[in-house]
Structure 1
Amino acid sequence: MNYAYMRISTNKQHTDRQEYILKDYFEKNNIHIDAWFVDVITGKTFDRPEFSKLKDTVKSGEDTVYFTEVDRLGRDWDGIKREYKWFEDNVVNVIILEVPTLSMSIYKEDGTVDLNIKLIKSIVLDTYCFASQNEREKLSRRTKDALQAKKEQGVKLGRPATKKAQEVIDLIVKMAKEGYSTREIQFKTGKSRQYVCKIKKQYA
């Protein structure tokens, strides 16, 4: 049997794009899908109701599961590999449309598993996971560098403070500039030493 899985991270997103890609592929290749599974949950967690239901549904040596992209399986190398390995260990064919090599079936015409195809798909997945995670880590570093640069330029980061919280911050900064000690500022504001030191470092 054939199954399709889609995942989006939040309710603000839509599955339209994934659904279009999958249906277009199924139509062009004359594939009938027996069931669709859809999760609205971040890829960082593997406690996904529909994904778990899918894994409980598939049968070893018979079924095929279709995904649009590798990251529908997870968000990091280890997570993706772990889930992919689960399907491999249970002899369930996985088709990932964004990577042509991963769209090859591991089943021969007689229904047995083609070990050469299985090996090739495993190697390609490893390479793709490396590239994907490496790109995410580079993006994360660039974001941190950009935030650090803004901080050094005096740009205030984080969520805007409420009016009352901002008044406390302004008072801490004012007292610090006037030479009051941290203990004196604590007594005046009722804030912890850690908080006062943090504000002094960030604003004073």
Structure 2
Amino acid sequence: MKRYGYHRTSTREQHLDRGIKEITTYCEQNNLELEKIFTDQQTGKNFNRPRYQVLKEDVLRAGDELIITEVDRLGRNKQETLKELQYYRDNGIRVKILELPTTLMDLSKLDNAMARMLMETINNMLIELYAAMAQAEIEKKEKRQREGIDSKKARGEWDDYGRPAVMPIDEFSEHYQKVVSGEIRPFELMKQLGMSKSTYYRYVKRIKE
């Protein structure tokens, strides 16, 4: 039996150190030999992560243990995370989750079959709850991002979804009056404002709407 750790952060700006330390400290305090900790700095929305795939497909074997700090370090999509955990159960690989102490217990040492069944049920319920919370958190974050983008677009501060507007629509309208009055031609205004043809006509369309 071999023991491995896995830790993930969503971006390179987030540090892996904390998770690595938690896994290492747990093993040291419990006199457990740790082979290696695999890490990824990538979104938890799916499981197409290079180091995770190596760990799952090429390293872990029946009888091994996988240690993670939190459910969402494995993944943030509830159904996909539960599917991964089921894969490990089916293949005889034990997963320990440090934020869920009940998953750290060795249930095989419980003499009472009913007690083992109850603990397994509790573990499954807790894992599903935490997985649901992780997914809810990422959905809430995405909702806030969408609302922020919609607000910027409504205020004229966002051009072409995701690209900052060249200038506020009111400022463009003032310059555009020169075209309306015949003082200058459209291509001359484009040149003055440093606008592409497509951007210019998007602004014109918004004014006319």
Asked if TM exceeds 0.5, the reply is yes
Q: C-alpha separation between the residues in 2 aligned to 1:5 and 1:202?
A: 54
Letter of the 1:117 counterpart: M
1:111-190 map, 5 Å: 114-152=116-154, 154=155, 156-157=157-158, 158-160=162-164, 174-175=175-176
| Paired residues of 2:76 and 2:134 also in contact (CA < 8 A) | no
What SS does the aligned partner of 2:108 have?
coil
- Note the alpha carbon deviations across 1:4-50, whole angstroms, 9 max, x for none: 11222333332111112112211222211122212232223422222
Distance 2:153 2:128 in 1: 37
Secondary structure, aligned partner of 1:52? helix
Cα distance change, pair 149–10 in 1 and its aligned pair in 2 (3 A): closer
Judged with a 3 Å threshold, the aligned counterparts in structure 2 of structure 1 residues 10 and 44 are, in CA distance, closer, same or farther, namely same
Q: Corresponding residue for 1:196?
A: 201
Q: Matched residues in 1 for 2:93 and 2:151: separation?
A: 48
Superposed, 1:8-87 pairs within 5 Å as 8-55=9-56, 56-60=58-62, 62-87=63-88
Cα RMSD over matched residues?
3.8
Query: What is the TM-score when the length of structure 1 is the normalising length?
Result: 0.71
Contact 2:76 2:138 in 1 (8 A): no
> Matched residues, percent identical?
32
Deviation at 1:150, TM superposition (A): 5.0
Instruction: Show the counterpart of 2:108.
Output: 108
- Return the letter of the residue paired with 2:206: K
Gaps of 5+ in 1: none
Contact 1:77 1:129 in 2 (8 A): yes
In 2, the alpha carbon distance for the partners of 1:12 and 1:63 equals 31
What is the Cα deviation at residue 149 of structure 1? Answer: 4.2
* Deviation of 1:140 (Å): 3.2
> Following the alignment from structure 2 to structure 1, what is the Cα–Cα distance between the partners of residues 204 and 130?
44
Measured in 2, the distance between the counterparts of 1:108 and 1:90 equals 17
Kept in 1, the 8 Å contact 2:7–2:74? The answer is: no
Question: What's the CA shift for 1:179?
Answer: 5.4
Say which SS state the counterpart of residue 33 (structure 1) adopts.
coil
Provide, for residues 65-106 of structure 1, a one-character-per-residue CA deviation record: whole Å limited to 9, x for no partner: 10011112112112211211211111211111112233334x
C-alpha separation in 1, matches of 2:130 and 2:34: 26
Counterparts of 2:208 and 2:71, CA distance in 1: 44
1:106-144 superposed Cα distances (whole Å, 9 cap, x missing partner): x5149xx95543333222211122222223323433443
Once residues 179 and 202 of structure 1 are traced to their aligned partners in structure 2, the CA distance between those partners, rounded to angstroms, is 12
**Is 2:76–2:131's contact at 8 Å kept on the other side of the alignment?**
no
CA distance, structure 2, for counterparts of residue 84 and residue 176 of structure 1:
63
